């Protein structure tokens, strides 16, 4: 159950929480595989990785590119920010959302140009049922990193939660255009197309 904009919306929160926590685990699993003082959404290696993601036909290769992209996004040149990011992710994984929110608040306040700080706070807001706040942070994330397929997918989930299915469909399609290997998002696209088509009959 999510309450946002004064409207009570019934939605399968458990499923979405599971998806988001899997995403957190994916990021954590690659935490020691790729370190760089330049890493964040402006890292020049991202262009090559996104290009590879568009051209590969291998699911296993794609998974490797995605893991590297997440690792670059999550790393900051300031070791202190990286330490706080790790603390916030750990708190989220334990469902200690109050602690996680405080940590990510401090990151976005001190480093407003760091896209992943906003994306992580958007995730926490979503898990807390604060849909408008989550959407605001998703928009900031996408302004800083328009290719952020995690934020695009999150935007789709949030629009779905409010019943805005056409905008949810557009967000999911944008996510898949950036990362064609989002199988669960493609399933949501198919479902929404069917729902929207039936509503127009």
Over the chain, what HEC string results?
CEEECCEEECCCHHHHHHHHHHHHHHHHHCCCCCCCCCCCCCCCHHHHHHHHHHHCCCHHHHHHHHHHHHHHHHCCCCHHHHHHHHHHHHHHHCCCHHHHHHHHHHHHHHCCCCHHHHHHHHHHHHHCCCHHHHHHHHHHHHHHCCCCHHHHHHHHHHHHHCCCHHHHHHHHHHHHHHCCCCHHHHHHHHHHHHHHHHHHC
- Whether the pTM exceeds 0.85: the reply is no
Per-residue pLDDT of the chain (201 residues; tens, 9 = 90+): 222 222 233 344 454 455 555 544 443 333 333 344 457 899 999 999 999 999 999 999 999 999 999 999 999 999 999 999 999 999 999 999 999 999 999 999 999 999 999 999 999 999 999 999 999 999 999 999 999 999 999 999 999 999 999 999 999 999 999 999 999 999 999 999 998 876 554
Task: Convert the pLDDT of each residue in 93-145 to its tens digit.
Answer: 999 999 999 999 999 999 999 999 999 999 999 999 999 999 999 999 999 99
- 12-30+40-200 domain in CATH 1.25.40.10? yes
């Amino acid at each position: 159950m999510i309450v946002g904009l004064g409207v009570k919306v019934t939605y399968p929160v458990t499923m979405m929480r599971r998806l988001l926590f899997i995403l957190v685990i994916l990021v954590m699993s690659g935490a020691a595989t790729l370190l760089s003082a330049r890493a964040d959404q402006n890292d020049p290696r991202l262009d090559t990785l996104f290009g590879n993601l568009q051209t590969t036909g291998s699911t296993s290769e794609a998974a490797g590119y995605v893991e590297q992209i997440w690792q670059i996004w999550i790393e900051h040149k300031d070791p202190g920010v990286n330490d706080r990011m790790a603390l916030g992710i750990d708190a989220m994984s334990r469902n200690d959302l109050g602690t996680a929110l405080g940590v990510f608040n401090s990151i976005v306040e001190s480093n407003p140009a760091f896209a992943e700080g906003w994306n992580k706070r958007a995730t926490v807001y979503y898990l807390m049922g604060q849909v408008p706040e989550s959407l605001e942070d998703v928009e900031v994330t996408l302004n800083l990193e328009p290719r952020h397929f995690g934020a695009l997918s999150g935007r789709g989930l949030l629009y779905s939660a409010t019943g805005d299915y056409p905008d949810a469909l557009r967000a999911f399609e944008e996510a898949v255009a950036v990362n064609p290997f989002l199988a669960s998002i493609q399933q949501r696209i198919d479902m929404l197309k069917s729902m929207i088509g039936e509503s127009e009959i």
